[in-house]
């Protein structure tokens, strides 16, 4: 039986808490979100009918600062998924040493079946419904799966209308014209690239002789593919919700990006005109393909107890949140597969979100070189800390990252004391 995403996260926390002899009270606090909000979102559809959607916002921990986390629109989104993602955000912010706790939001819907106007109505009503618990010093949303800069602009506008003045720092990941940061859209994929190159260096592997498969060719996967190919890596396989593409000699990533970005709504890979030696493959074939590095950048629980034994890649870089279940992680560890965990690998997005938040507060905006240099500095420092703990304690990179994060959160709790 495939392990649930939330249970997988809690089990990893429990294991870490036991190994570091974490205070039992603080352990209980870290296991539970501080606040869970479920809201009803009625909208009038384009045909005049009223449809009711369900939305969520979960704040896991504010011990280290305001809560921070994205909002996803997906038909399978539910409260347990959002709780798991909020928990991971707390850990992710701690690993990167950002002054944030973790939060996450979501709306259960199928964006592909909704018009742009309908999505705008959902977003603005959702923003109004979660307004009592969000704010620049309380909880700052950002984009996630099926949301983007435009979505964040809608949220900023809705909140600004309620407040009676423009509130730039209520969300991050906004359009540049509305106070967004240069480099934010590329940040998560760039962070994945930085981590991938860094582990190749540690293992003395030449990037130009490295084959890579990337599951998920959305914002994270496509940017990671583009940046890794620029460095000289061979991107042999990619996929989206419709299909996968494979070429043992390396796919033509620039041409695929031109195709993907050619429409207002990105076309599907199944409609791509294959080039010489390209072939369509299944999601299973991509995950289990014979490559050096696998970058799962789609949804959670893609590698689980039923397929972990079939994974051939020796390095996994988690572009998505929770793509490897706890049980699968144990199997892969026995196979000596190196896994850069999500709370380290894909933290580039929240790092540059932090930069955007700071810029919005100060009304002083950085150039792209400053953004990328500061991102690289933080990512390399976080990687070095996790790598050092892993080597010193002879544990996996995931165990090392969890130890680092949980100790930082526990320290903040102890320093603040329990209220009242």
Distance, in Å, from the CA atom of 372 to the CA atom of 214, rounded to the nearest integer, reads 23
Helix, strand, coil content of the chain in percent (nearest 5) = 50, 15, 35
At residue 38, the 3 state secondary structure works out as: strand
Q: Beta strand 67-74 with 50-59: parallel, antiparallel or unpaired?
A: unpaired
Sheet holding 244-246, edge to edge: 279-281, 244-246, 234-239, 211-215, 293-296, 315-317, 338-340
Which is the catalytic residue, given 83, 104, 174, 408?
Answer: 104
Going through 111-219 in order, the beta strands assigned E by DSSP cover: 139-143, 211-215
d(C-alpha 390, C-alpha 295), whole Å: 21
27 and 17 Cβ atoms separated by less than 8 Å: yes
Is 104 noted as a catalytic residue in this protein? yes
How far is residue 155's CA from residue 333's CA, in Å, rounded to a whole number?
Answer: 42
372-375 long-range contacts (CB < 8 A, ≥24 apart) are: 372/183, 372/190, 375/183, 375/187, 375/190, 375/191, 375/194, 375/348, 375/351
Catalytic annotation, residues: 104
């Amino acid at each position: 039986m495939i392990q649930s995403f939330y249970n997988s996260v809690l089990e990893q926390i429990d294991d870490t808490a036991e190994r570091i002899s974490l205070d039992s009270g603080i352990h209980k606090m870290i296991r539970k979100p501080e606040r869970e909000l479920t809201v009803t979102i009625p909208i009038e559809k384009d045909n005049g009918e009223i449809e009711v959607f369900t939305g969520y916002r979960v704040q896991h921990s504010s011990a280290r600062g305001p809560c921070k986390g994205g909002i996803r629109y997906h038909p399978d989104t539910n409260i347990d998924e959002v709780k798991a993602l909020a928990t991971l955000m707390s850990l992710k912010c701690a690993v990167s040493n950002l002054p944030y706790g973790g939060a996450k939001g979501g709306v259960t819907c199928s964006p592909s079946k909704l018009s742009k106007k309908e999505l705008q109505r959902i977003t603005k009503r959702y923003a109004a419904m979660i307004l009592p618990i969000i704010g620049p010093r309380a909880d700052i949303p950002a984009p996630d799966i099926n949301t983007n800069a435009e979505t964040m602009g809608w949220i900023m506008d809705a909140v600004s209308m309620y407040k009676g003045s423009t509130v730039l720092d209520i969300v991050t990941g906004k359009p540049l014209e509305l106070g967004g940061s240069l480099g934010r859209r590329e940040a998560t994929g760039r962070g994945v690239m930085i981590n991938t190159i860094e582990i190749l260096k540690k293992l003395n592997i030449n990037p130009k002789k490295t084959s890579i498969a990337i599951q998920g060719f959305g914002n994270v996967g496509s940017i990671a593919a583009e940046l890794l190919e620029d460095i000289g890596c061979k991107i042999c396989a990619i996929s989206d919700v419709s299909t996968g593409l494979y070429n043992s000699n390396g796919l033509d990533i620039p041409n695929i990006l031109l195709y993907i970005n050619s429409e207002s709504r990105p076309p599907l890979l199944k409609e791509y005109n294959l080039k010489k030696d390209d072939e369509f493959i299944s999601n299973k074939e991509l995950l289990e393909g014979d490559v050096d590095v696998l970058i799962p950048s789609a949804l959670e629980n893609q590698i689980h107890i039923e397929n972990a034994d079939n994974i051939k890649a020796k390095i996994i870089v988690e572009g998505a949140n929770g793509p490897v279940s706890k049980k699968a992680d144990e199997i892969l560890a026995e196979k000596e597969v190196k896994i850069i965990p999500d709370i380290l690998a894909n933290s580039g997005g929240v790092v540059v979100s932090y930069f955007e938040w700071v810029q919005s507060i100060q009304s002083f905006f950085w150039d792209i070189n400053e953004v990328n240099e500061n991102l690289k500095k933080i990512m390399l420092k976080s990687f070095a800390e996790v790598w050092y703990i892993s080597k010193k304690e002879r544990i996996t990179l995931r165990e090392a990252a969890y130890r680092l994060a949980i100790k930082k959160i526990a320290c903040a709790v102890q320093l603040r004391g329990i209220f009242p």
